C-alpha cells in the first residue's frame, strides 16, 4: 500500500485528502509515496505555531537544544540504509551518492548540535575603566526555509540545524519533486523530542505556498536555495517587509584545465564534476576551459571516459549516472542540447534521451559533450542543470581566467594545474564563492562557509561557523562594575 506522508504542524502530523505523488524518476511506474498537498492556510498555521513555540525554544539552553539535534542525528543514523534508499528512489541519484548525502546530513546535525555548547559571542576589552563589554547571540525568530530537490536531505539539514541551534523556530517547505528526504529529518526531530511548534513541515506547490510563507506575519527571515528566477522574486517580496533573506541560486561553473595539469586526474575530475549526480549539483562543472596546448588530447580523453559512464537506475550496483529528476527537467536538458547542436554543432558524444529496455520508464539522458563551444553560445552562458558539458578553448592561462570570470554567475570554480603561482593567481582572481584546485568543482564539506558570489547568491553564507551569522543577531552589552 502506498504510504501518505502528512505535514507536520504544531507537533502533530496533519493529514488531508489533497495529496500529490512522489514518483521514482528512474522508473515512473514506482510510486515512492504520496504527500499531503499543503495550502496557504497550513503555512499560516505553521507560522503561528512557530511563533507560539519561540519563547520556550529560544530560552532553552544551547546545550539542551544541541542534545535534541544529537538524538535526531542518532535516529537518522539507525535508519541510514532506508533513508538513503528513499533518496535514490525519489531523486534518482545513485545509492552510493545518496548514502554520502545522508551521512553528510547526520554530520551536519552533529556539528551544529555542538555549536549549541559554544554559541560564540564576543568579549573585548573596553577603553573605559571598569567597563565590561561583550556581545551575546540571540535568535532572530520564525524563519522560513525553502529547499530544492537536488540535495533533498543535506540542504534541509544545513538550514534546519543552524536555525534551530540558534534558538529560532522554523517552517520548512521542501521541493515537491523530492520531499521525502526532508520529511525523514523532520520525523527524526519529532522522535528526538523537539517541542511542538519548533519545527513545522508543509509540502506542496512552491507557487502557492511561497506567497503565503513570505507573507506570514510572524516570519522574520527566509533562507532559500533554488533557481535565480524564484530567488529574485522572493527577494523582492521579502524586501517589502524587510525580512532578512539568504539566497543560494544557480551557477555556470567553470573548470580551467592548464597544459601543466596532471592529465589523467584532470580528465577524471572534469567528468566527475560534469556528470555525477546527473549534472544536477549546483556546483557541477558545465564549462571546461582548456588550454590550447592540450585541447585536442583532452577533448578526446573526456569523450572516451564519458562514453564509458554507466547510466541507469541508481539502486543497481555499478551505475554511475541516474536519471533527470523529472520530465520537466529532462525536457529542459534536451531543449538545451538542441540549442547546442544549432550553435556549436553535433555533440561529440551523447545528445539523446535513453529509452532502451527499462530505461524507457525513466528520465534518462546520455551524458553529452560539446566541444569548440564559444562564449556567446547559449550552452556556455545559461544553467542547464543536467549531464551536458561545454568544452571551450583558451589560448593560455590569462585567456582561461577571462573566460571563466566573464559570466554573471559565481557559485563554484575549479582549476587543474601543477603550477603553484598560477594556483594562487587563480585563487585571488577567480570570481566564485567556492574554489577547488585539482579536485572536481563539486564536493563540499559542512565545516566551512558555503555559498556563491555575483548573481548566484545573496546574503550571508551557509554552513560552517558562518551559518550562525544568518540565523542569529547580536545583543551588545556595556557593563560598569
For residue 467, state whether it binds ligand NAP (rule: CB under 6 A). Answer: no
SS (H, E, C) the chain: CCCEECEEECCEEECCCCEEEEEECCEEEEEEEEEECCCHHHHHHHHHHHHHHHHHHHHCCHHHHHHHHHHHHHHHHHCHHHHHHHHHHHHCCCHHHHHHHHHHHHHHHHHHHHHCCCCCCEEEECCCCCEEEEEEEEECCEEEEECCCCCCCHHHHHHHHHHHHCCCEEEEECCCCCCHHHHHHHHHHHHCCCCCCCEEECCCCHHHHHHHHHHCCCEEEEEEECCHHHHHHHHHHHHHCCCEEEEECCCCEEEEECCCCCHHHHHHHHHHHHHHHHHCCCCCEEEEEEEHHHHHHHHHHHHHHHHCCCECCCCCCCCCECCCCCHHHHHHHHHHHHHHHHHHCCCCECCCECCCHHHHHCCCECCEEECCCCCCCHHHCCCCCCCEEEEEEECCHHHHHHHHHCCCEECEEEEECCCHHHHHHHHHHCCCCEEEECCCCCCCCCCCCECCEECCEECCCECCCCHHHHHEEEEEEEEEC
Q: Considering only the stretches 141-149, 187-195, 343-351, 463-471, report the one whose residues sit in contact with ligand NAP under the rule CB under 6 A.
A: 141-149
| Choice between 16 and 227, CB closer to ligand NAP | 227
CB of 151 to ligand NAP, least distance (A): 6
CB of 278 to ligand NAP, least distance (A): 12
For residue 50, state whether it binds ligand NAP (rule: CB under 6 A). Answer: no
| Choice between 38 and 340, CB closer to ligand NAP | 38
Q: Considering only residues 168, 225, 414, 416, which one is a binding residue for ligand NAP as defined by CB under 6 A?
A: 225
127 flagged as catalytic: no
Task: Write each residue from 406 to 445 as x if it is in contact with ligand NAP (CB under 6 A), else as -, in one continuous string.
Answer: -----x----------------------------------
| Choice between 218 and 231, CB closer to ligand NAP | 231
Which set of grid coordinates corresponds to residue 297? 588530447
CB of 186 to ligand NAP, least distance (A): 15
Task: Write each residue from 58 to 97 as x if it is in contact with ligand NAP (CB under 6 A), else as -, in one continuous string.
Answer: ----------------------------------------
For residue 286, state whether it binds ligand NAP (rule: CB under 6 A). Answer: no
CB of 298 to ligand NAP, least distance (A): 26
CB of 476 to ligand NAP, least distance (A): 31
**Number of residues engaging ligand NAP in binding (CB under 6 A):** 30
324 flagged as catalytic: no
Nearest to 285 by CA among 169, 436, 167, 106: 436
The active-site residue, picked from 44, 97, 248, 320, is 248
Q: Considering only residues 19, 146, 186, 261, which one is a binding residue for ligand NAP as defined by CB under 6 A?
A: 146
For residue 333, state whether it binds ligand NAP (rule: CB under 6 A). Answer: no
The active-site residue, picked from 101, 115, 187, 282, is 282
* Interface positions, 226-285, toward ligand NAP (CB under 6 A): 226-227, 230, 233-234, 248-251, 282
| Choice between 6 and 136, CB closer to ligand NAP | 6
* Interface positions, 182-221, toward ligand NAP (CB under 6 A): 205-207, 210
Positions touching ligand NAP (CB under 6 A) are 146-151, 173, 175-177, 205-207, 210, 225-227, 230, 233-234, 248-251, 282, 383, 385, 411, 452, 456
Q: Which residues are catalytic?
A: 248, 282
Amino acid at each position: 500500500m502506498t504510504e501518505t506522508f502528512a505535514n507536520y504542524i504544531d507537533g502533530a502530523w496533519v493529514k488531508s485528502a489533497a495529496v500529490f505523488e512522489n514518483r521514482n524518476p528512474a522508473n515512473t511506474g514506482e510510486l515512492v509515496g504520496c504527500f499531503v498537498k499543503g495550502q496557504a492556510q497550513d503555512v499560516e498555521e505553521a507560522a503561528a505555531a512557530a511563533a507560539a513555540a519561540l519563547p520556550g525554544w529560544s530560552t532553552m539552553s544551547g546545550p539542551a537544544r544541541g542534545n535534541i539535534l544529537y538524538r535526531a542525528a542518532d535516529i537518522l543514523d539507525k535508519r541510514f540504509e532506508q533513508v538513503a534508499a528513499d533518496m535514490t528512489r525519489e531523486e534518482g541519484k545513485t545509492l552510493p551518492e545518496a548514502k554520502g548525502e545522508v551521512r553528510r546530513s547526520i554530520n551536519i546535525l552533529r556539528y551544529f548540535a555542538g555549536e549549541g555548547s559554544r554559541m560564540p559571542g564576543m568579549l573585548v576589552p573596553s577603553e573605559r575603566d571598569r567597563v565590561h563589554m561583550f556581545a551575546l547571540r540571540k535568535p532572530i525568530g520564525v524563519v522560513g526555509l525553502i529547499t530544492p530537490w537536488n540535495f533533498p536531505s543535506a540542504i534541509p539539514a544545513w538550514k534546519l540545524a543552524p536555525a534551530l541551534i540558534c534558538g529560532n523556530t522554523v517552517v520548512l517547505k521542501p521541493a515537491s519533486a523530492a520531499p521525502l528526504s526532508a520529511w525523514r529529518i523532520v520525523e527524526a526531530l519529532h522522535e528526538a523530542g523537539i517541542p511542538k511548534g519548533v519545527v513545522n513541515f508543509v509540502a506542496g506547490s512552491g507557487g502557492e505556498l511561497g506567497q503565503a510563507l513570505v507573507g506570514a506575519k510572524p516570519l522574520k527571515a527566509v533562507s532559500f536555495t533554488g533557481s535565480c528566477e524564484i530567488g529574485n522574486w522572493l527577494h523582492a517580496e521579502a524586501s517589502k517587509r524587510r525580512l532578512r533573506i539568504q539566497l543560494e541560486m544557480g551557477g555556470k561553473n567553470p573548470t580551467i584545465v592548464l597544459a601543466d595539469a596532471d592529465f589523467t586526474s584532470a580528465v577524471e575530475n572534469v567528468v566527475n564534476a560534469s556528470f555525477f549526480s546527473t549534472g544536477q549539483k549546483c556546483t557541477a562543472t558545465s564549462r571546461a576551459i582548456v588550454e590550447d596546448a592540450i585541447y585536442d588530447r583532452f577533448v578526446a580523453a573526456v569523450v572516451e571516459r564519458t562514453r564509458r559512464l554507466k547510466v541507469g537506475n541508481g539502486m543497481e550496483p555499478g551505475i554511475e549516472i541516474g536519471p533527470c529528476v523529472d520530465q520537466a527537467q529532462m525536457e529542459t536538458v534536451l531543449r538545451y542540447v538542441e540549442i547546442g547542436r544549432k550553435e556549436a554543432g553535433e555533440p561529440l558524444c551523447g545528445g539523446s534521451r535513453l529509452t532502451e529496455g527499462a530505461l524507457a520508464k525513466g528520465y534518462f539522458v546520455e551524458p553529452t559533450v560539446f566541444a569548440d563551444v564559444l562564449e556567446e553560445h547559449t550552452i556556455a552562458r545559461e544553467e542547464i542543470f543536467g549531464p551536458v558539458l561545454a568544452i571551450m578553448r583558451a589560448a593560455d592561462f590569462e585567456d582561461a581566467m577571462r573566460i571563466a570570470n566573464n559570466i554573471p554567475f559565481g557559485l563554484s570554480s575549479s582549476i587543474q594545474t601543477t603550477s603553484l603561482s598560477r594556483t594562487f593567481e587563480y585563487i585571488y582572481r577567480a570570481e566564485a564563492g567556492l574554489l577547488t584546485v585539482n579536485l572536481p568543482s563539486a564536493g563540499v564539506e559542512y565545516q566551512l562557509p558555503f555559498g556563491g558570489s555575483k548573481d548566484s547568491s545573496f546574503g550571508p553564507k551557509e554552513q560552517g561557523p558562518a551559518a550562525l551569522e544568518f540565523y542569529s543577531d547580536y545583543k551588545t552589552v556595556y557593563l560598569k562594575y
